[in-house]
A and B are shown apart, each in its own frame.
Chain A
Amino acid sequence: MSQLKIDTPSPVVFSKRSPIYRQQAGALFAERDGAAIALQVTDTESRAQLQQSALLDLSATFRSGVRGRTASQWLGQQQLPLPAQANQSVTTRDGELVLRLGNSELWILGNPLRDNSTLAKQLQSAPASAGCYPLSCQHSHSWFVLSGECRSAVMAKLCGVDMRESVFGPGALAMTSVARVSAIVVSHELQGVPVFSILSDCTSATYMWQALLDALQEFGGSDAGIASLLPAN
């Protein structure tokens, strides 16, 4: 587990912070893209638990976005794949996620399991183009991941869109209401574990985190860190 750092910083060491870092007080953290990400919350966490039912906070991870007439051209210039249709996502070779929200809004989510500073630098220094406007999704939205087999059943308690695998498989994306808050739900995989990424307004992040945890309980799930997902060496 070479990705684990021995010295685990506290989230407040960084000026950039997840809106819910306090909810995981006591966890072991690591630096991720200039903020702290939880590696491990309890001793008993395991990959098996994540495959069953767990909740992760990936808000520290780098993300950015663009939208406009020429957004898809700009994306191509960054050597990033464009999802074929509106409301779809694509996972890159390097484990990054490209979201196509509607027709011409594109978000790029870094790989939460590794450092994304190269990608961040590449995208931030890329020349702007007319008709392509940068977005502040790093700061406006929190990023939670609901993992495991029970994820569709958990969402069924919070969301009126059918998210069973048969109709909401990998690559599917929905902009909808979760626990009465607007959210983007993406179906994809993290290290082979099927997950839903939930991106919603950062100012209601604490509320959303509590709603998700509450819905998880029925399935024996709880929050966890990313360590169990890190690729073994």
Chain B
Amino acid sequence: MKIMQCPLNGPRNISEFVYGGEVRQMPEPNLCSDEEWAEYVFFHDNQIGLVQEWWLHAPSGYWFIAERHTATDDIVRTFDPSELFKERVEFAPNPEVSAA
């Protein structure tokens, strides 16, 4: 059984973790086209290479990011989300509302 290095709790059996999907850049929901939005929701790259993924350590409720190679399944590194997400995120208002 694979060992995952939790940035907070150290090395643990992978059964303690829950996969949370790929880390992806959300386009501005109120400004992008329908097509851009649908691609964001439904399409995945599915390439061989490194991907960044959300992982949850279930017993502690701690979310972190893992960089994993999709072919070898090697987990290259794991780190706290604050490395990627430093700023408070704001959303552009709904243009139909602002226009009114």
B residues near A183, Cβ cutoff 8 Å: 59
Whether the Cβ atoms of A175 and B15 lie closer than 8 Å is no
Give the interface size class of chain B. Answer: 10 to 19
Q: Tell me if B's interface is mostly helix, strand, loop or mixed.
A: mixed
Considering the complex, give the chain B residue whose CB is closest to the CB of A182.
B59
Chain A interface, number of residues (Cβ within 8 angstroms): 14
Whether the Cβ atoms of A182 and B8 lie closer than 8 Å is no
**CB 8 Å contact bits of A167-194 with B (1 = contact, 0 = none):** 0000000111100001110000000000
CA distance A86 to B58 in the complex (A): 17
A103 interface contact, C-beta 8 A: yes
Query: Smallest distance from the beta carbon of B64 to chain A beta carbons, Å?
Result: 11
Whether the Cβ atoms of A160 and B15 lie closer than 8 Å is yes
A residues near B2, Cβ cutoff 8 Å: none
- The residues in B between 1 and 17 inclusive whose CB is less than 8 angstroms from any CB of A are 8-9, 12-13, 15-16
Whether the Cβ atoms of A175 and B59 lie closer than 8 Å is yes
Whether the Cβ atoms of A102 and B15 lie closer than 8 Å is no
A161 interface contact, C-beta 8 A: yes
Whether the Cβ atoms of B58 and A182 lie closer than 8 Å is yes
Whether the Cβ atoms of A87 and B58 lie closer than 8 Å is no
CA distance A182 to B8 in the complex (A): 16
Whether the Cβ atoms of B58 and A174 lie closer than 8 Å is no
CA distance A103 to B8 in the complex (A): 8
- The CB with the most chain A CB atoms within 10 A, among B13, B57, B59, B62, is that of B59
A residues near B59, Cβ cutoff 8 Å: 175-177, 182-184
Whether the Cβ atoms of A175 and B60 lie closer than 8 Å is yes
16 contacts between A and B (CB under 8 A): A102-B60, A103-B8, A160-B12, A160-B13, A160-B15, A160-B16, A161-B12, A174-B9, A175-B59, A176-B16, A176-B59, A177-B16, A182-B58, A182-B59, A182-B60, A184-B59
